[in-house]
Structures are given as C-alpha cells and as structure tokens.
Amino acid sequence: MEIHLNRVDYMQVGVTSQKTMRLLPALGKKATQKVAIADHDGILTCFGMKKGEAVPVFKTLPGQKITRMDLGGAVGTPQEKIFICSGSQVRGFTKKGKQFLTFEANLTETINAMHVSGADLFVCASYIYNHYCDCKDQDYYLSGDKINDITCLSSENLTRPAPVLACQDRVLRVLQGSELAYDIEVPGPPSVLELYSKEGGEEILYGTTDGKMGLVQVGERSAATKWEIDNDKKRGGILCIDTYDIIGDGVNDILVGRDDGTVEVYGFDSNNEPTLRFEHVLSESVTSIQGGCVGKETYDEVLTATYTGWVTGLTTEPQKAEAGPGDEVRMSKETQSKVEALRAELEQLQLKVLQGREQYQQISQSSTAVSAVPVFSINDKFTLCQDDASYSLTLEVQTAIDNLLLQSDVPIDLLDVDKNSAVVSFSECDSEQPNGNFLLATYRCQANTTRLELKVRSIEGQYGTLQAYVTPRLQPKTCQVRQYQIKPLSLHQRTHSIDQDRPMNRLSLVGQFSFAEIHAWVVFCLPEVPEKTPAGESITFYFHNTFLGTQLEATYCKGEGHFRSDNISTISILSDVLSKEATKKKINLNISYDINDDSVSHTLKMIHPKLEYQLLLARKVQLIDALKELQVHEGNADFLIPEYRKILDESANLLEEYKKQPAHLERLYGMITDLFIDKFKFKGQNVKTKVSSLLEILDNYDLNSLLDFFNEA
C-alpha cells in the first residue's frame, strides 16, 4: 500500500523545541484544524489555513523560551486547552488565546518535559519529577539520570494513573505515587514517549536518540515489549511520534520525526507488524509531528514543525498541474498574492536593516560603546554510534552556516559523511606545545546548509576536547564555540547488565575521597554517566565497549571504588587516568590490581572472529579487480574455482562492506598492540621493543600463534 504525500510549507516561526506544536481538535467533522506552535522567542502562535494562507487566531507576546506544549481539558470534553512551559512556569491558554492559568512550579531548574491530563499536571526538570493536581503538590521523584520525556497512562486495568519517565540511562521508569514501581529496559536512550492510543490504554510508544522505536505494554507490576524497530538505515534520532490513520485503512499509523529531517509513516501489515509506508526528508530536525487536517478540508495530512520553525504539511491533496497554457509558469492567485505580500514585507525589512547597519557602523566610531551580538542558538548532538564505534556530531543553526572550524587537542580521525556536502580542508597543525592542536579542519558550507553532520573516530586512552566554531551567514558576523569531551574510555556505552562468567581483571581504589569526588572521576572517564552524584551510598554502572564487545563494571562509594573488566587495556587506562585525577586533587590513592591472565586470551578470542572476518574481507576485496580482469580476458568466469567465482558474484556487497568500515583492521591491530603492552605493563615489563614482531605475527594472522606469542613474550 503506497501513499503519496505532497509537501506544503505553511509558515515559519522562531526556533522550536521538541514537541511544541499541536493540532487543536476539529470543531466538526471534516473541518480543518487549527495549529498551535510555540518557539524559543516565547511566542505561542495559533493559526489556521484559509485559502492557502495562514490566518493567525492569536499570538502571545515574546518572553522566555518555550520548551514544551501539551493539550488538555476537563475529562470528557475536547482537549483544546493549550499548556506551555517556559522556565519553571506553566501557562494555560484557551483556544481563543485567553490566558487562564499561570502556575509557578517552584523548581530551580527549567522544565523540559510536561504532560497534562485532566486536572493533573506532570512536569520534569532534568532529574526531578513533580506531580500536581489542581496546582497542588502531589508526588515527587528524583531520577537517577536525566529525564527526557514524560507521559501518563490511565486505564481501567490500572488501579491508578501510572506516570512513565523516559530516562537517559536507557530505561523507562514507571512510577507509583512518589515511588518507582519498576523500570523497563529499552535498547537506547529514550527521547520521546507517546500514548499508542489517544483514548488511553496501557500501550506506549517510545523513540530513542539513536533512532530506534518500540511499543511496550505497561502493567501494574511489569511491562512487556510488543515490538521494536531497529535503526538499520542509520537514520537520525527520534524527536517526535504521533499516531494517526493517514493511510486510511482504519488502523492508526505511526508518524515519526527524526533529528536528521526524516519523516516516516509506519503502517501495520496483516500480521500487525509495523512496516515503513512513506518516507520524506526535510533538511532540518523535525521537532514535532501531528496527523490531522490543516490545509484543505477532507484531505488528511502529516504536519511537521522543524527546528528553524517551519510548519510544513505532507498532504494527501494532489498537487495541481503547474504549467498553464501560456509560456510562463502560471501561479495560482493565492500564491501570487502571497509572494507579493512577502516581497513588500522584504522591502520594508531591507530598509530597516539598512538603518540598523548604519547605526551599527556609527557606534563603531565611538570609543566608549561596545558591540555585542546576541547569542544565536545551536542545536547540537554528539553521540557514539554503536555499529561503527565512532562519534557522530550534528550541528544545526537557524540560518545558513557559512563555515565551521573544528579543533581538537587529541588525535582523532575525521570521517567523510555522504550527506555532508561542505568542502573540508585540513590545515597543517602543530601538535607540539605551545598550541597543541591535533586537528584543525575547516568546512566551507554550500549555500542554504543549516545542518551539518560529521563523523569522528577516537582512540581509547587519549582524551581531551573537540571544539567546533560555528559561523552562520548572518550580519554582523559572529561565531560560537561548542566543546565536546573525548573521554578516556570514549568507546564505552552504558548497558543494562554484563556477562559475569567472563574472566575479569579488577582495579580497586581506596583512599580519602568522597562519593562525589569519585563520581566526578568516573564521569570524567566514561560517557553516558549522569553528572549528578547518584542518591544512596554506592552505585554500580555497567558498560560495554562498542568496538570490541568487552565489558566494564564500575562500583564505588565513599572512600572505595572497584572496576572490573575482561579487557586489560580498559583497566590500564582507568588506572592511569584515575591516579592522575587523584594527584591533581592531592588525594592519596591506594591502588590494587587483580589481574586474571586468562582474560587476555579471552579478549583475543573475542577479537578473533572480527579480525578473521576483516582479514578475509580485505583479502577478497584485493582479489576482486584481478578476478574481474581475468573474467573480461577469458570471456567468462567458469574456469575459476568456486571460491573465486563466489567472490566475483558477491563483489558489490564485499566492496560496500569494506567501504563501510574504513581502517577497521588498523584499529583492531592498535587494540591488540595495546593489549599486549598493557598485559606486560602490569607485570612490570616494558615490551615496546617487541611490538614489531607482534605486528609481523598479525600480518600472517593465526589465532594460536598470536596466543602463543602473548604467552611466551
């Protein structure tokens, strides 16, 4: 079942946050709906479409940036009251724009997630959850990691409404009053929650920052996962979800908006499995998505709001034929008047801007005046991609980016991204002091680039800062710097549990340090650890290495810390960094090791299949060209042995696979070398001189000879 949707742009507001655009319920059947959207300028706009033109219903005055929007209303009535939150304040508006509620939540932090249901108001600031009923404090909960979204379930099967929090540490926390009922493990950090059915029910949809999606059924004591969709196509993280029957088969479809601009529609096949039915790529993050009817009566559409504030519809209304009988491309009257109005507005603005420029020039003559340009907003994301163990950095600005300067004080590799059309140029850099630059690269962007995607590969054990200087095409020209930490164990990712049967090495620290201090060190070493010191006496975190698959368990409390890993290099890096950090704070550490020699051969055996696969792949790829030449020369490939014929048949796949993992083999070699050095470091031996013979063995790789070499040396 194919659907075809056409894109229509409705209007543009300021920069928007996640989930800040909603469709108000339709008044009658088949009538168009009004759109409410709130932006970073603090303006709440409500508009409807009339004859292709956006007609505002109301617009509030600018103020603090609005971070969320939800619709509410008394139970049983249309949910048409608009609730927005900015700072720690929640405000309510009627659909006519009359403000009927101002509520100060008295939180020290800004609210970043909100859910309204009848008289209940649920708000979350980074770690705090609060529940109010009729603006009276009800429940309170402190989460272990950042809360990204909240929703609340109510159903006949549940004794009381169950709020669900989407937390950064890859769990959905189901609450009962002020207590945690249980948590649900999900495959990635969840970024958005949505009720599967708008009428209630116990099913919720979640989307993750690494682009996965799933449906869970929440029960009183436990939850069951109905289905999960992986992110095979490497699309962006999910920012918003809605359910709406856009296909028109009587079943609600799932509408998904992602941070790389992808809009997807999933329908359900006869087995009730979700399948992708439609896909469209906008050029910027899709922050909100809704299904409904806006542009024209009887035509359903998917309405999206993007980061830079564009409200765009993907409508089922067929596009009109553009060319008329004349030579000119005929424009509809509506469009013509729209264009004229825009042009007139532009002219006026141009004049104003010219005045502004002149004044700005005049100020520059004065010796006392200062020049200060307001901070422009950058939407950035720096995440570890699990499948190729590299970091992806995305930057998005509300106007076109002119250029980007990347600077790093650690050795990192910059990888090419197909989507990125900017011209990159690497500058010579002086890694020696005084400047200590390991990477200086400029990206000169093509016109109209508002979003840039980069890929960066780090090496574990080498840590520092990556800085991005973003210069947009906006007068007066300014640039903003963003910093990203490359942590010592940069390739590690949080996980829910580890395999306890593996041979493990242990690193133990004892000393005069507080819980907060050791937590700060762990935050310094490992990604995805909440910055806030956890509640309670002690804490355990589990990690796995995305590249090798080895694992790490960190358990610590005041005065004591234990780290267990099957990878000896992980232990070595941790011990180096922790002792360095402790020395900085002048804290005496008592470090002890418990090295398990089996762990090294265990790790080597874990690397073995990867290494063997890569070596075989490299060998096959090397042969492809020669074999193809033989094939052309002889006219066919029948005379080749089956193995070679197979390589020829699979050549396209092999090449693609090979291209996907640049320098994979070199990385594996590097890690084996580290393993070798670290193994003997703990024995007090320096084996750097033997590395060349190790590399020789790797060149003629065989697991047994490698194991022997590790044991003998």
Partner 1 sequence: MLVPIFTLKLNHKINPRMVTIGKFDGVHPCLTAATQAGKVFIHNPHTRGQRPVAHRLSQSTQDSDISLLNINQAVTCLTAGLLGPNTTGDTLLVGSQTNLLAYDVHDNADIFYREVSDGANAIVLGKLGNIPTPLAIIGGNCALQGFDYEGNDHFWTVTGDNVRSLVLCDFTGDGKNELLVGSEDFDIRVFKEDELVSEMTENETVTSLCHMHGSRFGYALANGTVGVYDRTARYWRIKSKNHAMSIHAFDLNADGVVELITGWSNGKIDARSDRTGEVIFKDNLSASVAGVVEGDYRLDGQQQLICTSVEGEVRGYLPASKDLKGNLMDSSAEQDLIRELSQRRQNLLLELRNYEENAKVCLIKTNSGMGVIPANTQLQTALSVRPASEVQKAHVELSISTPNETIIRAVLIFAEGIFEGESHVVHPSVQNLSGCIRVPITPPKDIPVDLHIKAFVGGKTSTQFHVFEITRQLPRFSMYDITADSSAAPPTGWVTFSINDRPQRVVMWLNQNFLLPEGVDSPDATFNSLRGGGLLSISMASNGQITLRTDDIDLAGDLVQSLATFLAIEDLSAEADFPRYFEELRTTLTEVDEFHSVHQKLTAAMADHSNYIRNMLVQAEDARLMGDITTMKKRYRELYDLNRDLINEYKIRSNNHNALLVCLKSVNQAIQRAGRLRVGKPKNQVISACRDAIKSNNVNALFRIMRAGTAPSRG
Residues 406-425 that bind partner 1 (CB under 8 A): 407, 409, 416, 418, 420-425
Other beta carbons within 10 angstroms of residue 630's beta carbon come to 16
- Distance CA(52)–CA(365), nearest Å, equals 48
Binding partner 1 by CB under 8 A: which of 99, 157, 298, 448? 448
Return the number of the residue (94 or 631) whose C-beta is nearest partner 1. 631
**By CB under 8 A, is residue 476 in contact with partner 1?**
yes
Other beta carbons within 10 angstroms of residue 307's beta carbon come to 26
β-pair type (179-185, 190-197) = unpaired
Would you give the binding string for partner 1 spanning residues 103-122, x where CB under 8 A is met? --------------------
**By CB under 8 A, is residue 398 in contact with partner 1?**
yes
- H/E/C letters for each residue in 576-613? HHHHHHHHHCCCCEEEEEECCHHHHHHHHHHHHHHHHH
Find the part of the chain contacting partner 1 (CB under 8 A) among 65-73, 98-106, 370-378, 699-707. Answer: 370-378
Return the number of the residue (333 or 688) whose C-beta is nearest partner 1. 333
Binding partner 1 by CB under 8 A: which of 99, 275, 364, 588? 364
**By CB under 8 A, is residue 55 in contact with partner 1?**
no
**By CB under 8 A, is residue 134 in contact with partner 1?**
no
Give 392-447 as a DSSP string.
Answer: EEEEEESS-EEEEEEEESS--EEEP-TT--SEEEEPP---STTT--SEEEEEEPPT
Q: Which of residues 516-555 bind partner 1 (CB under 8 A)?
A: none
Binding partner 1 by CB under 8 A: which of 372, 643, 704, 712? 372
Find the part of the chain contacting partner 1 (CB under 8 A) among 288-296, 334-342, 531-539, 601-609. Answer: 334-342
- Distance CA(297)–CA(252), nearest Å, equals 20
Binding partner 1 by CB under 8 A: which of 142, 363, 663, 691? 363
Binding partner 1 by CB under 8 A: which of 178, 275, 399, 705? 399
Return the number of the residue (375 or 689) whose C-beta is nearest partner 1. 375
Binding partner 1 by CB under 8 A: which of 155, 478, 508, 596? 478
**By CB under 8 A, is residue 9 in contact with partner 1?**
yes
**By CB under 8 A, is residue 7 in contact with partner 1?**
yes
Find the part of the chain contacting partner 1 (CB under 8 A) among 128-136, 528-536, 622-630, 697-705. Answer: 622-630
Return the number of the residue (250 or 635) whose C-beta is nearest partner 1. 635
**By CB under 8 A, is residue 471 in contact with partner 1?**
yes
**By CB under 8 A, is residue 633 in contact with partner 1?**
yes
Q: How far is the CB of 308 from partner 1 (least distance, A)?
A: 8
**By CB under 8 A, is residue 479 in contact with partner 1?**
yes
Other beta carbons within 10 angstroms of residue 525's beta carbon come to 23
Q: Is 568 helix (H, G, I), strand (E, B) or coil?
A: helix
Binding partner 1 by CB under 8 A: which of 60, 442, 555, 579? 442
Q: Which of residues 251-310 bind partner 1 (CB under 8 A)?
A: 308
The 10 Å CB-count burial string (b at 16+, else e) for 405-438 is: bbbbbbebebbebeebebeeeeeeeeeeeeeeeb
**By CB under 8 A, is residue 512 in contact with partner 1?**
no
Binding partner 1 by CB under 8 A: which of 636, 653, 689, 704? 636
Is the CB of residue 261 less than 8 Å from the CB of residue 284?
yes
**By CB under 8 A, is residue 370 in contact with partner 1?**
yes
Q: Who contacts 340 (Cβ-Cβ below 8 Å, separation ≥6)?
A: none
**By CB under 8 A, is residue 343 in contact with partner 1?**
yes
Return the number of the residue (480 or 601) whose C-beta is nearest partner 1. 480
- Distance CA(31)–CA(33), nearest Å, equals 6
- 531 secondary structure, DSSP code: S
Alpha-carbon separation of residue 199 from 153, 165, 168, 407 (angstroms): 10, 20, 28, 51
Rg (Cα) of the chain, in Å, rounded?
29
Q: Which of residues 211-240 bind partner 1 (CB under 8 A)?
A: none
Is the CB of residue 648 less than 8 Å from the CB of residue 621?
no
**By CB under 8 A, is residue 462 in contact with partner 1?**
no
Q: Is 65 helix (H, G, I), strand (E, B) or coil?
A: coil
Binding partner 1 by CB under 8 A: which of 331, 616, 691, 713? 331
The H or E element that residue 708 is part of is helix 703-712
- Distance CA(529)–CA(488), nearest Å, equals 13
**By CB under 8 A, is residue 436 in contact with partner 1?**
yes
- Residue 395, classified by CB atoms within 10 Å of its CB into exposed (0-12), middle (13-18) or buried (19+), is buried
**By CB under 8 A, is residue 653 in contact with partner 1?**
no
Binding partner 1 by CB under 8 A: which of 298, 475, 514, 686? 475
**By CB under 8 A, is residue 641 in contact with partner 1?**
no
- Distance CA(372)–CA(64), nearest Å, equals 20
